[in-house]
Structure 1
Amino acid sequence: MKLLLLFTLVACVVYLTESKALVCYYSSKAVYRPEPFKYEVEDNDPFLCTHLNYAFAGLGEDFTIKVLDPRNDLCDDGGKCGFDRFTRLKEQNPELKTLLSVGGASEESSRYSMMAEDPATRKIFIDSTLKLLKEHKFDGIDLDWEYPTKKGGSPDDYVNFVTLLREFSEALHPEGMILTAAVSAGKNTIDPAYDVPGMSKYLDLINLMTYNFHGNWEKYTHHRSILYAHPKDEGRALTLNQDYAVNYWIEKGAPKEKLVLGLPFHAHTYTLDSAAETGIYAPASNPGPSEGGYNQICASQMTEDWTIVHEPDMNEPYGYYGLNWFAYEDSISLGIKAKYAVDKGLAGCMVWSIDADDFHGTCYGKPRPLLNAINDALNL
């Protein structure tokens, strides 16, 4: 009886302390930012994320995987060896998984659609990807096709994307590699683009891009990654929040233990029409200043006369100075969202992108306040 009780207690402790995934995208373009925002591969802390995704590789016209920045990514001809330096972070933390993310918003969806429709071109893409992953000791691939059936894609992508995932799974999993995907959180994309049960069979993690719900393409202010619907939301806007997206993916058949809640470290900006209206749904006919990372936001808050607002009906802050209006996340809002992921039973959280945190600790004296807040809430 005592042994049974001890086993039960140990099992409970293991269950309660089971770590959650924290998937961190690293934008390799961050090496080209001016100081103090320039971010090198070695600026990644290999102990704060469970998965680090190198963004991005692409798809070539010949349907092979394409290295988008050979000078930065490869060692050839005096290159900076970004891929190899990235995967060597595992020497500090052998538990870390390093993945190569393929796609992104700049890639042509139509090319991925053409590749996915033909068994021969799928094989070219998969074989070349596996070869590149092995050469640079990546642990797997993250597919960021934005989006099947959209932006020049074909209705057949709905089926072909699952076929592509199945064939990738058959190639990667026997090699001990993992397969993940970054997917839309918008209902208008989810419905035509994703056979959710089919995808879920082959993906190890499903990274929900639960951000960019709103932006300066609209003529009013709103938050890009609001957790719950705002009281003023109505109609389609009621679907443009993280809680709705998570529940909809689960309703469509995604296992919640594979879903990863996406959290942005970047802001969306607007130019207010009038300084007299500054809240959510304030008129804003024009884009704001160039959108930056949290590190740029908090640096600006130290030099400009910002008004920062935490509405009682929102978990996220927004701020403004003059007619410049910013929707962003801080350590408090991200901690709330990470706890939501835990309470919901999700696999964990995803960050786009790790290089936008205040990694120097310039603003409040503590490096990486956003990433540490997520870690604290996930109990990593």
Structure 2
Amino acid sequence: MKAIKHRYTGLKTLLSVGGWNLGTKQIRVILQNRMRMRKFAKTSITFLRNNGFDGLDLHFQYPGSRGSPRKDKYKYATLVMILKEAFAVEARLTRKPRLLLTAAVPPGKHDIDAGYEIRRICRLLDFVNLLTYDFHGTWEDLTGINAPLLPRRGESKEDRERNVAWAANYWIKEGCPRRKLVIGMSTYGRSFRLANQANHGVGAPKRGRPGRGTYTRVSGFLAYYEICEDLIKGNEQNVKWHKELKAPYAYKGDMWVSYDNEYSLQLKVKWLMKMKLGGWMVMDLAGDDFSGTFCNAGKYPLISRLNKALKGEIITMS
């Protein structure tokens, strides 16, 4: 990491703690009382400084849900406060730049309401990273877009709240400053197995579990480079664009996948710039075409397009 930071002098690296697979058990241990929160802050500072990190990202999924009691919503906000204060004190004593503090947070209303004092934590955090993907997936009975930008006509009230724009606007409405909101972009798709190959639109019935990707080996999940190789190349006639949801999907036989491509990500960047939000993040680097051999668009075509869109370099949909 030191070599990378030496090469890119403006680079900031943060350590992310948590994640979906961790669950909430370990978080609840930290949140039990202020003494444990302060110990977590102290040990975090030591680890971050010793290993050359510039900050900490709280990726706890999610306080107030998944076995975490409702009171953890308020304890989580207290943890954020204690971390921010500890980082500020350490910076004053050492005369080093203050460690950054960010959090990865959900896009769904239920998880947001259950776990976050939005106005309080947004005042303390440097950035708030919205996990604006996984709105739909194989855990549902009908095909759906992984990360739609906007809603579509005819959706239920619940489904109209499952898109990037709704999630960002809800955090803003509840008191989070626009400039701190960072929009999550995905370099993977969510796949389904169609119940009827002739019915292959958004909202089509599924059956069973879809196959695993050649490389990722996770049912219902395909990296972008796998989508290029297995569903796009030689199958362009079955790659479709949903005008309302602003996202592509593709099907081949009984395999169906929704994902983001260069054009849909560009639209999201244009939208977040118009909204005057803080920026974008990506989940994750490994899902893009890192070799440049799968999608025939150079190395890291999705991440490259995200950067170019910020600079105003625009492509049209092919």
Normalising by structure 1, what TM-score? 0.75
Q: Does 1:318 align with 2:249?
A: yes
Cα distance change on mapping 1:329 and 1:194 into 2, 3 Å: same
Secondary structure at 2:21 match in 1: coil
Q: Which residue of 2 aligns with 1:296?
A: 226
For residue 84 of structure 2, give the secondary structure of its aligned residue in structure 1. Answer: helix
Query: Aligned AA for 1:375?
Result: N
Match of 1:91 in 2: 6
Look up the match of 1:374.
306
Residue of structure 1 in register with 2:107 after alignment: 185
The equivalent residue for 1:351 is 282
Partner of 1:335: 266
Contact 1:117–1:156 (CA<8 Å) still a contact in 2? no
User: Paired residue for 1:39?
Assistant: none
* Letter paired with 1:300: D
Displacement after TM superposition at 1:283 (Å):
0.5
Structure 2's unaligned 5+ residue stretches are 213-220, 313-318
CA offsets 1:250-279 (integer angstroms, 9 cap, x no match): 000000000001111111010000011000
Note the alpha carbon deviations across 1:215-265, whole angstroms, 9 max, x for none: 111100010100001223112111001111010000000000000011111
Q: Does the CA contact (< 8 Å) of 1:87 and 1:138 recur in 2?
A: no
In structure 2, do the counterparts of structure 1 residues 324 and 151 end up closer, same or farther at CA, with 3 Å as the change threshold?
same
Give the structure 1 partner of residue 216 of structure 2.
none
* Contact 2:123-2:176 within 8 A present in 1 as well: no
String of CA shifts for 1:118-156, please: whole Å, max 9, x gaps.
112112211111111111100001010000011111211
Tell me the CA shift for residue 376 of structure 1.
1.3
Change in 2 beyond 3 A, CA 1:279/1:132: same
Distance 2:2 2:20 in 1: 24
Deviation per CA, 1:317-357: give whole Å up to 9, x if none: 00010000001010000010011111100000110001111
Percent identity reads 32
Contact 1:87 1:98 in 2 (8 A): no
Within a 5 Å distance, the mapping from 1:1-380 to structure 2 comes to: 86-173=1-88, 174=91, 175=96, 176-290=98-212, 291-301=221-231, 305=235, 307-362=238-293, 363-379=295-311
Partner of 1:232, secondary structure, is coil
AA aligned opposite 1:130: I
Distance 1:243 1:181 in 2: 19
Q: State the 1:302 CA deviation.
A: 5.8
Hey, what does 1:33 align to over in structure 2? none
| Deviation, structure 1 residue 292 | 2.1
Residue identity in the other structure for 2:251: Y
- Deviation for aligned residue 1:202: 1.1
CA distance in 2, matches of 1:377, 1:242: 18
In structure 2, distance between residues paired with 1:182 and 1:279: 32
Summarize deviations over 1:190-229 as a string: whole Å, max 9, x none.
Answer: 1111000110121000000011111111100010100001
Amino acid at match of 1:297: I
Whole-angstrom distance in 2 between the partners of 1:365 and 1:185? 31
Runs of 4+ in 1 over 6 A off after TM superposition: none
Provide the C-alpha distance between the structure 2 equivalents of 1:104 and 1:216, rounded to a whole number of angstroms: 20
Contact 2:239 2:249 in 1 (8 A): yes
Moved more, 183-192 or 114-123: 114-123
Listed as ranges, the gaps of 5+ residues in structure 1 are 1-85
CA distance in 1, matches of 2:297, 2:305: 14
Greater relative CO, 1 or 2 (CA 8 Å, sep 6+): 1
